[in-house]
């Protein structure tokens, strides 16, 4: 029986999907690190949201683990390189939170423009600060959107209905993809200096960490505001606190933090002109239901039927062809096993030449590597990690097809 560990909250409907004779669900949304160590060696699948950190040490302990399912889009809380090396499939659900994240972005945008949070706090304290809380209309203002993926585009769609002007920046898109009358694609410096509002929709990677530090925040208009519903760390938290307290920019709306939950001495708790929410971007009934059901379906289908959906780390583009070429895969794996028995020294390179009518040769190359590495490494070799194992060992791989 396959065991699936769930260490973040998911919906009841998601849990019902996993109710199956061949699946045992271990639902531990508030699991401690000590308790986690008990379950890791026995689980086949692991379902998480944003609260769980899947680290290299966890993957070393989880000897039976074959799939990690992330209920949502972001996977910066998973060590994907370690998962790939361990032969563990990593799946996510890229569209489940899109609408909720976009709508929360617009909620912060509207709240900041009209000082709604400050008005509420003032009334609670018995103050009537109407004259101090004059806001701005969004119509005619320039919104800079950094990251033009699904969430960024949904934000743009809604911002256009406010009659806002849109500047966009994304290193992987160009102006041809957008109507220049509605969306102008610019470099990040232009966006930073010309926007009245800036919203971030990029992953947290080396190139985006501290993307908005004090130097870049100083490039913004003094009347501008910035919003982050993407990932904590894209804006440097200390620098943002300084920029707000010293009136370098006018305001910020932040939903995500470097460390969650934030502690009692976090600089944001003593920062003015700041609207913060506790990572609510994906916290809607609809989003939670959607990602819970979706990821449970994907993990179940993988464990029971080896079906792959939204896989982030598998090196094969079209998994539907695997069944069709299964005889060739068995043959190439056995060739790899035979060759591994004939090798008397270390392998420095592998060259494979393919001929015939099966144009998709990459799966067969990976199958050959599975056989070749079957006896020369103690890792579990499979379609996920075969190329990774070769690269780790400095083995160059080349192939041709004719």
Q: Enumerate the active-site residues.
A: 231, 260, 279
Distance CA 283, CA 106 (A): 15
How many C-beta atoms surround the C-beta of residue 343 within 10 A?
A: 11
Whether omega before 261 lies within 30 degrees of 0, making that bond cis, reads: yes
Per DSSP, 232 falls in state T
Distance CA 210, CA 255 (A): 16
| H or E element, residue 228 | strand 225-228
Of 172, 244, 184, 236, give the one whose Cα is nearest residue 209: 236
Q: For 315-342, b where at least 16 C-beta lie within 10 A, e where not — what string?
A: bbeeeeebeebeebbeebbebbbeeeee
Distance CA 77, CA 55 (A): 8
Main-chain dihedrals φ then ψ at residue 240, nearest 5 degrees: -65, -40
């Amino acid at each position: 029986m396959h065991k699936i560990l769930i260490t973040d909250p998911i919906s009841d409907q998601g849990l019902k999907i996993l109710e199956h004779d061949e699946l045992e669900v271990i639902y531990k949304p508030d699991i401690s690190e000590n308790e986690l160590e008990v379950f890791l060696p026995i689980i086949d699948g692991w379902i998480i949201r944003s609260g769980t950190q899947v680290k290299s040490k966890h993957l070393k302990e989880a000897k039976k683990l074959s799939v990690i399912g992330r209920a949502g889009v972001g996977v910066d809380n998973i060590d994907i390189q370690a998962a790939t090396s361990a032969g563990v499939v990593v799946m996510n659900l890229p569209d489940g939170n899109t609408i909720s994240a976009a709508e929360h972005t617009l909620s912060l945008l509207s709240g900041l423009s009209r000082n709604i949070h400050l008005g509420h706090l003032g009334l609670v304290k018995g103050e009537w600060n109407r004259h101090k809380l004059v806001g701005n209309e969004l119509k005619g203002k320039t919104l800079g959107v950094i990251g033009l993926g699904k969430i960024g585009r949904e934000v743009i769609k809604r911002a256009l209905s406010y009659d806002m002007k849109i500047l966009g920046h994304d290193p992987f898109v160009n102006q041809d993809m957008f109507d220049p009358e509605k969306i102008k694609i610019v470099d990040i410096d232009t966006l930073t200096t010309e926007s009245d509002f800036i919203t971030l929709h990029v992953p947290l990677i080396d190139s985006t960490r501290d993307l908005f530090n004090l130097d870049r925040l100083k490039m913004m208009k003094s009347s501008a505001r910035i919003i982050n519903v993407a990932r904590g760390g894209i804006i440097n938290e200390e620098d943002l606190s300084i920029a707000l307290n010293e009136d370098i920019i006018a305001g910020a709306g932040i939903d995500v933090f470097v460390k969650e939950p934030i502690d009692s001495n976090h600089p944001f708790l003593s920062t003015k002109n700041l609207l913060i929410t506790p990572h609510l971007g994906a916290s809607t009934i609809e989003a939670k239901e959607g990602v819970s059901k979706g990821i449970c379906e994907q993990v179940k289908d993988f464990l029971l039927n080896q079906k792959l959906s939204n896989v982030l780390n598998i090196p094969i583009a079209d998994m539907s062809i695997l069944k069709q070429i299964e005889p060739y895969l068995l043959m190439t794996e056995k060739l790899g096993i035979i060759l591994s028995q004939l090798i008397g020294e270390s392998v420095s390179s592998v060259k494979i030449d393919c001929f015939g009518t099966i144009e998709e040769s990459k799966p067969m190359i990976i199958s050959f590597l599975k056989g070749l590495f079957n006896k020369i490494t103690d890792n579990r070799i499979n379609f996920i990690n075969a190329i990774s194992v070769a690269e780790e060992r400095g083995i160059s791989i080349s192939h041709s097809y004719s």
